Amino acid sequence: MPRTARDVVFVDGVRTPFGKSGKGLYAQTRADDMVVRVIRELLRRNPGLPPERVDEVAIAATTQIGDQGLTIGRSAAILAGLPQSVPGYAVDRMCAGALTAVTTSGAGISFGAYDVVIAGGVEHMGRHPMGEGVDPNPRFLSEKLVDPSALVMGNTAENLHDRYPTITKERADAYAVRSQEKVAKAYADGKIQQDLVEMVVRSLEKGWGLATEDEPPRPGTTMESLAGLKTPFRAHGNVTPGNAAGLNDGATGALLAAEDVAAELGLDARMRLVDFSFAGVDPAVMGVGPVPATEKLFARQGISIDDIGIIEINEAFAVQVLAFLEHFGLSDDDARVNPWGGAIAVGHPLASSGVRLMMQLARQFAERPDVRYGLTTMCVGLGMGGTILWENTNYEGGK
């Protein structure tokens, strides 16, 4: 029987406040409990959605062991109280895990296999450090399939500085300062809090508490405070803890639906999924991944960077964002890029971050009916990039 592709919309997105790994907010909190909190909040905020109408739960995690294992999409769905008839699965595309959960399940909606899905991601880097339990095949190095530096993300960022010699440490630090300033302003203006869900936390020293805001931001960061930081990945290098995202814990979730189903159930349609693209690059410079992924998407859609009104790009490293901007001829402080700041300030719990980009874009779309198109894009470990093109459902004409 013939099938007709359906429009897919982003209905809602929520996340836990992001914490610092180690002795931070979530040191004594399970990763799956964070996902459960997000799923329950999505259902609470959207009472028109009967839980049995959820057709799939796709949750990403980079390290799928322990409390991030056991097919976390399914286990979290059961723990959250969804009917046992609702299936779920786990996704792994490293940093682009949640982004891939959205594109994969969203494609299922377009195809007609689903009507409504929950897609998101979680990373508890305190409990599960990057690379825990990984056993890279020795052929990667013995057969020189990848440069040894490709297996350490900080080293790939230093390699990117080598490839783009015009991107100095000073430019990276300046970008990081602006990210901190923008996040501080967004918090002061009440922008970020709208999609945070309070999370009960427990500390052996302090007892029970409540996480209500992100832990990583460092308001008041200056060029002077960043100048003296160590460069842990290379002596006299360019990458520091100040111009890169930290090690973080947190969970995100998005509610997606076919546009006609959203209308039927009285759900918001905040933005429309237009297209998405993934691309591979040399793993030793994985940070450049968003460039070919975006170019691939632009070529297919017949558009250019000039057609994009807002760009939400993950700030794994400042150099990675600056390489993207330099490629597309944008200034380091282009107002379209991360208007509310990014991961350098707010945190980057790996597989969860893609949906954070989406919820911020959706909020900005609501405030900008003059903007028609926006991007969410990010680099991915082992040399990849992923980009999604979104259309503003509030568009009234303009850019």
- C-alpha 160/C-alpha 204 separation (Å) is 41
- C-alpha 370/C-alpha 375 separation (Å) is 15
Helices (H), the chain: 31-45, 72-79, 97-111, 139-142, 153-163, 169-188, 223-227, 259-265, 290-301, 318-327, 343-346, 353-367
Our CA angle for 298, 301, 305, nearest 5°, is 35
- C-alpha 95/C-alpha 350 separation (Å) is 4
Q: Both tokens of residue 300? A: 């297919």
Is residue 161 annotated as a catalytic residue, yes or no?
no
Q: Both tokens of residue 242? A: 């100040």
Our CA angle for 273, 277, 279, nearest 5°, is 160
Specify whether the CB–CB gap between 119 and 102 falls below 8 A.
yes
Is residue 236 annotated as a catalytic residue, yes or no?
no
Q: How many other β-carbons are positioned within 10 Å of the β-carbon of residue 70?
A: 14
Q: Which has the closest alpha carbon to 156: 260, 272, 234, 70?
A: 234
Catalytic residue (one of 95, 124, 128, 161): 95
Catalytic residue (one of 124, 128, 161, 348): 348
What separation, in Å, do the N-terminal and C-terminal C-alpha atoms of the chain show? Answer: 39
Is residue 379 annotated as a catalytic residue, yes or no?
yes
Catalytic residue (one of 124, 128, 161, 379): 379
Q: Which positions ≥6 away from 44 have C-beta within 8 Å?
A: none
Question: Which residues are catalytic, by number?
Answer: 95, 348, 379
